[in-house]
């Protein structure tokens, strides 16, 4: 009989910030929409016997979490663009474990989430964090000592300080464990210098008194494709984001249907309204070149804008990007797994994606993500083919 695991979440804010910003926008604009998510085991990891049972226990325990008064006050003070109506909604929100279906057959794990989009949207990151932590615990995989994890993190941020770049921590979804994540945050805060500017994790933002970082994810544009069609997804996704946030949270994610398609919609209006764009797939130097040229065509000085690079980064990858962008365009970096799962064990390669959307008074529609790297395409093959045809992608 599998022992009851000690792995659990301690705060409803232990999640990426863009989940809350999107939840706020969804509740305002699409309160009747529904969504389905699926776990994707990219690394083909084998899960030990009883893993599904242990994960079920951890998921059921999440239902006890509530937004406390101190957490609500933190959001009120640091995120004025989140409406009071939304914060009241979040205060009354609780995870519903019946929205999560977990099945294990042999070493194969399946996880599906279904519910109203404004509710189901918060599940992705906590589920991935729980899967990762449970995987190491139940496989009894030893990690490096605390002191070594802290020292390694300190050396990294010291190196980034010497390089003269700004870095944010983006590693909740694939962290080794909550404890390792906290060790990393403590080291980053202690040795932050001018480089460390914050974290995407709202719980740790509050714990270490810094503003949370993030805007929106691929699912924002994927839903818009389901509701309005592939050709209008980027433009209306951006338009609706502006409608809710009126110029705040101004970094646009560009690669849901490839950057080339995104820039067809990213006209001078959006170029001026948004502070910059985020790179999440494909060659970063090619992306930077395209972005710089696009801003110049719009008559916008690229140095007044910022690219956030966030695709599986480490120090070695950051150096050439920084050298290329310096003096051409503003830039910063979001680093995830290399911070929160550099603990002496192999990081997992797992994701959870929106797979179907149910726009109001519609039907379930498969959604896809194409990205700038064909190996990262996700979704129904037939729908991927349709998207490529409609968007004139070869």
The predicted-structure confidence for 307-345, as pLDDT tens digits, reads as follows: 999 999 999 999 999 999 999 999 999 999 999 999 999
Q: What is the pLDDT of residues 69-85, one digit of tens each?
A: 999 999 999 999 999 99
Q: What is the pLDDT of residues 360-390, one digit of tens each?
A: 887 999 999 998 987 778 899 999 999 999 9
Mean pLDDT of 214-220: 98
**pLDDT of amino acid 360:** 83
Model confidence pTM above 0.85: yes
Cα distances (angstroms) measured from residue 43 to each of 46, 54, 132, 333:
9, 21, 12, 24
Which residue blocks in the chain are alpha helix, DSSP H? 17-29, 51-61, 69-78, 84-92, 117-120, 124-138, 146-163, 178-190, 202-207, 218-228, 230-245, 259-265, 268-273, 284-297, 315-325, 337-340, 381-390
Tell me whether the CATH fold assigned to 17-141+349-390 matches the one assigned to 146-340. yes
Q: How do the domains of the chain map onto residue ranges?
A: 17-141+349-390, 146-340
Instruction: Determine the 3-state secondary structure of 250 from DSSP.
Output: coil
**pLDDT of amino acid 56:** 98
Evaluate whether the domain defined by 146-340 bears CATH number 2.60.40.10. Answer: no
More confident residue, 394 or 134: 134
Report phi then psi at 83, rounded to 5.
Answer: -65, 150
**pLDDT of amino acid 209:** 95
Mean pLDDT, the chain, integer: 96
Report phi then psi at 105, rounded to 5.
Answer: -125, 110
The CATH number given to 17-141+349-390 is 3.20.140.10
**pLDDT of amino acid 264:** 97
User: Partners of 276 in the beta sheet?
Assistant: 251, 306
Q: Would you place residue 4 in the very low, low, confident or very high pLDDT band (cuts 50, 70, 90)? A: low
Q: How far apart are the first and last CA of the chain?
A: 53
> Do 35 and 358 form a contact (C-beta atoms < 8 A)?
yes
**pLDDT of amino acid 7:** 77
pLDDT of residue 347 exceeding 60: yes
């Amino acid at each position: 009989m599998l022992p009851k695991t000690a792995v659990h979440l301690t705060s409803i804010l232990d999640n990426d910030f863009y989940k809350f910003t999107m939840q706020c926008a969804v509740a305002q604009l699409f309160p009747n929409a529904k969504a389905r998510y699926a776990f994707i085991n990219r690394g083909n990891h084998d899960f030990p016997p009883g893993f599904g049972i242990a994960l079920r226990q951890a998921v059921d325990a999440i239902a006890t979490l509530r937004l406390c008064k101190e957490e609500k006050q933190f959001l009120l003070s640091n995120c004025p663009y989140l409406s009071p109506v939304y914060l009241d909604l979040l205060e009354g929100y609780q995870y519903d474990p019946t929205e999560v279906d977990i099945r294990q057959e042999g070493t194969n794990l399946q996880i599906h989430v279904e519910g109203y989009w404004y509710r189901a949207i918060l599940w992705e990151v906590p589920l991935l964090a729980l899967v990762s932590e449970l995987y190491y615990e139940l496989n009894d995989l030893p990690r490096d000592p605390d002191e070594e994890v802290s020292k390694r993190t300190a050396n990294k941020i010291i190196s980034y300080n010497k390089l003269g770049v700004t870095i944010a921590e983006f590693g909740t979804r694939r962290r080794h464990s909550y404890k390792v994540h906290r060790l990393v945050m403590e080291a980053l805060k202690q040795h932050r210098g001018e480089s460390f500017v914050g974290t995407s994790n709202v719980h740790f933002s509050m714990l270490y008194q810094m503003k949370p970082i993030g805007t929106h994810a691929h699912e924002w544009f994927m839903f818009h494709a389901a509701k309005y069609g592939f050709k209008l997804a980027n433009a209306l996704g951006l338009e609706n984001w502006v409608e809710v946030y009126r110029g705040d949270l101004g970094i646009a994610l560009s690669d849901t249907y490839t950057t080339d398609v995104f820039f067809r919609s990213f006209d001078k209006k959006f170029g001026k309204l948004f502070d910059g764009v985020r790179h999440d797939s494909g060659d970063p130097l090619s992306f930077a070149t395209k972005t710089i040229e696009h801003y110049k065509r719009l008559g916008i000085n690229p140095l007044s804008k910022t690219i956030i690079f966030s695709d599986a980064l480490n120090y070695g990858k950051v150096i050439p990007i920084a050298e290329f962008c310096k003096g051409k365009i503003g830039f910063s970096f979001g680093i995830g797994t290399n911070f929160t799962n550099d603990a002496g064990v192999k990081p997992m390669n797992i994701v959870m994606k929106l797979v179907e959307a149910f726009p109001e008074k519609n039907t379930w529609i498969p959604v896809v993500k194409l990205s700038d790297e064909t190996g990262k395409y996700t979704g129904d093959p037939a729908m991927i083919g349709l998207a490529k045809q409609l968007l004139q992608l070869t």
